[in-house]
């Protein structure tokens, strides 16, 4: 099982995936940290059959809500950043699907984010959400 936490440490709740990976590491679980940039992410999971991704998400739910999707069964993921030069996690997953490069099992834990303010800490609700992701991942591994 490969665990990858994605995000940006310096953008508030966007650090959720990275913090989840670090908290798993502190419990002796190997976890990768990735910016979420597409070629890096495709490379990170190349050859892995089972992958868990953790990232911050925005769906309109209350901050800190933990979502879980199976990339093979979820409806097409879509982000509407209108962007640009940066490809987000959702686009990367869809690109991997087009290219036949999705891991056989890919589970995504999304922690509902509230703020992406530069330099801010994760919000308390998101902090609790990260702990819940860690608890659920540990449960899966046990």
Partner 1 sequence: MTVTGGRTIKVDTLARVEGEGALYIRMAGDRVADVKLKIYEPPRLFEAFLRGRHFSEAPDITARICGICPIAYQMSAVHAIERALGISIDPAVRLLRRLFYCGEWIESHTLHIFMLHAPDYLGYPDVIQMAVDHREVVDKALRLKKIGNRIVHLLGGREIHPISAAVGGFHKTPTRNQLRDLVEDLEWALEASLEAVRWTTTLPFPEFEQDYEFVALRHPDEYPFNEGRLVSNHGIDIEAAEYEDRFTELHVKHSNALHSVIRGRGSYHVGPLARFNLNFDKLPEVARKAATDAGLKLPVRNPFRSITVRAVELVFACAEALRVIREYQPPALPRVEAPNRTGVGHAITEAPRGILYHRYAIDDNGLITAAKIIPPTSQNQRRIEDDLREYAAQLVAWPLEEATLKCEQAVRCYDPCISCATHFLKVVIDRD
Which one, 38 or 115, has the nearer CB to partner 1? 38
Pairwise CA distance, residues 28 & 45, whole Å: 20
- Closest contact distance (angstroms) between CB of 83 and partner 1 is 7
Which one, 61 or 81, has the nearer CB to partner 1? 81
Burial classification of residue 85, based on how many CB atoms lie within 10 Å of its CB (0-12 exposed, 13-18 middle, 19 or more buried): exposed
Which one, 56 or 93, has the nearer CB to partner 1? 93
The sign one gets for the Cα dihedral 87, 96, 55, 77 is positive
Structure token pair of residue 123:
């919000």
- Closest contact distance (angstroms) between CB of 122 and partner 1 is 21
Residue ranges that bind partner 1, judged by CB under 8 A: 35, 37-40, 42-43, 80, 82-87, 91, 94-95, 98-100
């Amino acid at each position: 099982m490969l665990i990858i936490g994605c995000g940006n440490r310096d953008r508030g709740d966007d650090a959720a995936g990275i913090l989840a990976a670090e908290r798993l590491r502190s419990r002796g679980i190997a976890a990768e940290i990735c910016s979420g940039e597409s070629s890096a992410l495709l490379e990170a999971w190349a050859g892995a059959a089972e992958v868990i991704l953790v990232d911050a998400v925005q769906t309109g739910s209350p901050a800190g809500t933990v979502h879980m999707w199976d990339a093979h069964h979820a409806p097409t993921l879509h982000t509407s950043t209108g962007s640009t030069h940066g490809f987000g996690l959702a686009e990367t997953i869809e690109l991997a699907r087009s290219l036949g490069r999705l891991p056989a099992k890919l589970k995504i834990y999304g922690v509902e984010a509230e703020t992406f303010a530069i330099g801010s800490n994760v919000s308390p609700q998101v902090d609790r959400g990260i702990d819940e992701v860690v608890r659920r991942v540990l449960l899966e591994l046990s």
